[in-house]
Amino acid sequence: MRHGVFILRGLAVLVLVAASASARAQGGQRVLCYTTYDQEYFFLAAVVQKPTLAGRQIAFFSDPVQDDAVSVFLQKGEPTPRRTAQSVQMAVSAAGGGQLYRGADATPLKEFGDFLTDASGARVPFKYGVSVRGQLNQPGAAGNGYTVEMAIPWVELGGPPAVGERMRFNVVAFSAAPDSAPLLSLSPAVKTAADLQNPSLWAEIVFVDAAVRSVAAAPNARVSGRVFSSKPLIDGQAADGEWNTLTAFGFSESGAGAAVFTPTTAAARTRPALSLRKAPPPIRPRPRAAADPAPRRPQRVPRLVMALYHYDVQGDPR
């Protein structure tokens, strides 16, 4: 009888685990990302679909990873098991808090004076914006989520990348809500909090002048195309036409962990929809009647003044 009780309890546990995995797969996180860059910043937008939203970190220089948050990791150089001095991480909470973690020790900034300076001596801050769909710290709903846009200064990595340069790169979505995985990573090799600061487990990104789907020299790397004029507005909206969808990528929560996907709708840079109306008929001015030219008449000759000038050249031997 006791063995039967143990078997029933074991079956109950398996059913609960399977139900939890199924619920997580149906209502878990889904993250769609866009990137670009210029000479000053690396830009990223992340559109997160998530049923339950949780967050309380609302200030600059707070600790966003305690909330529902998106964190971006970049490192120059070869993959290493530990972060180096040319490594940076930026995190933004769904509640509005933001932070930048610098260098090998992932040191968080404390104040504006911690920002690095550019060649002119001006401090270069990070930028970010957040918008929320739904309500924070309330029961979840199917359409909930949040959008994060951020700009990481290249001065944090010693300057902008050269065309074709590759870096270690990862995007992680943190969750403080119980119905989603606490950590969802673009790189499938990053599975736990202990893996977060290991660049050898991160994915890779390559920087190009013109946006393309992939680069032959780095077929598995994410591609970021340079922007020259129409830079994204970092306000947390990710408006239509603001980001190049050709290089978009995403990852979502599944029963087996994170599933990476490429959006099928990303065929080219999208533009806002336009409502075209039929043009009004052209306005044709009435032609003027031809007028006869004025009759010819003698013209007065202007008075001329005649003067005699003497021309000489100094030192002329003649």
Is 281 a member of any domain? no
Is 283 a member of any domain? no
Distances (CA, A) of 254 to 47, 51, 170: 17, 15, 19
* Mean model confidence pLDDT for the chain: 86
**Confidence label for 317 from pLDDT (cuts 50, 70 and 90):** low
Average pLDDT over residues 212-238: 93
pLDDT digits (tens, 9 = 90+) for 149-174: 999 999 999 999 999 999 999 999 99
How much is the pTM?
Answer: 0.75
Is 214 a member of any domain? yes
Average pLDDT over residues 279-305: 83
Average pLDDT over residues 96-104: 97
pLDDT at 255: 64
Look at residue 238 and tell me whether its pLDDT is greater than 70: yes
SS3 79: coil
**pLDDT > 90: percent of the chain:** 66
pLDDT at 8: 38
Q: How far apart are CA 309 and CA 63, in angstroms?
A: 92
Q: Which of 21-25, 155-159, 224-228 has the lowest mean pLDDT?
A: 21-25
The single residue listed with the structure tokens 């129409």 is 230
Is 7 a member of any domain? no
Q: Work out how many domains the chain is built from and give that number.
A: 1
* Most confident segment among 9-18, 128-137, 207-216, 246-255: 128-137
**Structure tokens that stand for 118 in this block:** 């550019």
pLDDT at 112: 95
Alpha helices in the chain (DSSP H): 2-27
Q: Give buried/exposed letters for 240-278 (b at 16+ CB in 10 A, else e).
A: eebbbbbbbbbbbbeeeebbeeeeeebeeeeeeeeeeee
Q: How far apart are CA 285 and CA 190, in angstroms?
A: 72
Look at residue 265 and tell me whether its pLDDT is greater than 60: no
Is 292 a member of any domain? no
Is 97 a member of any domain? yes
- Give the β-pairing of 222-225 and 203-208: parallel
Residues forming a β-bridge with 88 = 74, 102
pLDDT at 156: 97
Look at residue 207 and tell me whether its pLDDT is greater than 80: yes
Is 84 a member of any domain? yes
CATH of the domain at 211: 2.60.40.1190
Residues of the domain holding 94 = 25-261
Is 157 a member of any domain? yes
